[in-house]
Each structure stands twice: as C-alpha cells, then as structure tokens.
C-alpha cells in the first residue's frame, strides 16, 4: 500500500511538471540521452527516461538491456514505464521475455498489466509466456485479466478463437 501511495504521488508530480509551457524532461531527447536517464539516482528521472523511450518505439531498441535492468527496480513507476517501453519496442525486445514473465507476478497490478501487454506486443517470440498469461487471465484485477486475454492471441494466433 505504501509503495502504491508513493507511486501515485510520484506520478502526480511527474504529470504536473509538464505545465506552465515548459517541456517535459523527456522531450527532444535521443534514445541515448533517455537511456542515460535510467541510471540517474532519482526515480522520477528514471521514470521520465523510460517513458520517453516508450514514445520512441522500435527506435529505442538499443536501450533494451538497460530497460530490462530498470524493470527490476523497487520503484513501481520505473518498473511500469520500463515495461511500457519494452512493449513499444515490440519484437526487438524479445530478450526481455524472461523478465516480463517474472513481472506477471509483480505485487502491483499496473506492472502485471503492463507486462502482459508488452508480451503481446513482442508477439510470437514471447511464446514461453503463454502458460503464465493463461494463469494471469484469472487475476483478481479485471484490467490485468483483460491484458492477459488480449496478449495470448497476439503471441499465438491459433488461440485467437478459443
């Protein structure tokens, strides 16, 4: 609960920094600059870097190893945004599949949901995740269940009409 509350306050702080006509910290930065943000001591900066990488999609493929590392941090928003970025990279993030499978068991529903969506975006290279996604389709959270259910046919098209 405490982690969720602090993450909510961090998210609010991140969202409020974009006002007053100033650019968000991730705007106008290259993939390499955003990747360096993931090594900052501040979780807020790390989260901004990961979010910025998510906006680059496949152009952020060089950051996959750093995003994998960042997805295992103790900060929920950093984990969530790192996984968001891995998903937006798509099939080029296939090396993240083992970590994403582990994150399907994260205590935070937002991370579980994002991991399921990311696995779906990686597609057939995430075949190893199907059994865990089937288990996750019975998660206590409706949005997590939905994400798992959506991801399975993207990974294994033969399961689309089951």
**Can you list the residues of the chain whose pLDDT is less than 70?**
1-21, 160-162
> What is residue 82's predicted lDDT score, i.e. its pLDDT?
98
> What is residue 69's predicted lDDT score, i.e. its pLDDT?
97
DSSP tag of 29 = -
pLDDT tens digits, one per residue of 35-69: 999 999 999 999 999 999 999 999 999 999 999 99
DSSP tag of 23 = P
| Fold topology of 2-16+25-159 | 1.25.10
Q: Which residue has the tokens 């959270």?
A: 141
Provide the phi-psi class of 40: left if phi over 0, else alpha when psi is between -120 and 50, else beta: beta
In b/e form, how buried is each residue of 99-112, taking b as 16+ CB within 10 angstroms?
bbbebbebebbbbb
Q: Which residue has the tokens 């152009």?
A: 59
Give residue limits of the domains in the chain. Answer: 2-16+25-159
Determine contact, residues 80/51, Cβ cutoff 8 Å: no
Q: Can you read off the two tokens belonging to residue 103? A: 């994150």
Provide the phi-psi class of 57: left if phi over 0, else alpha when psi is between -120 and 50, else beta: left
């Amino acid at each position: 609960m405490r982690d969720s509350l602090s993450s909510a306050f961090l998210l609010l702080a991140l969202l409020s920094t974009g006002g007053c006509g100033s650019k968000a910290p991730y705007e106008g930065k290259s993939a390499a600059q955003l990747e360096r943000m993931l090594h900052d001591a501040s979780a807020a900066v790390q989260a901004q870097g990961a979010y910025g990488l998510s906006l680059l999609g496949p152009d952020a493929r060089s950051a996959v190893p750093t995003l994998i590392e960042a997805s295992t941090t103790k900060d929920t928003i950093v984990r969530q945004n790192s996984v968001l970025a891995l998903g937006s990279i798509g099939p080029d993030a296939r090396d993240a599949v083992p970590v994403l499978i582990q994150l399907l068991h994260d205590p935070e529903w937002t991370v579980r949901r994002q991991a399921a969506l990311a696995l779906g975006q990686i597609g057939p290279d995430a075949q190893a995740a199907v059994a865990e996604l089937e288990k996750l389709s019975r998660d206590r959270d409706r949005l997590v269940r939905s994400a798992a259910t959506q991801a399975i046919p993207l990974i294994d098209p033969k399961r689309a009409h089951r």
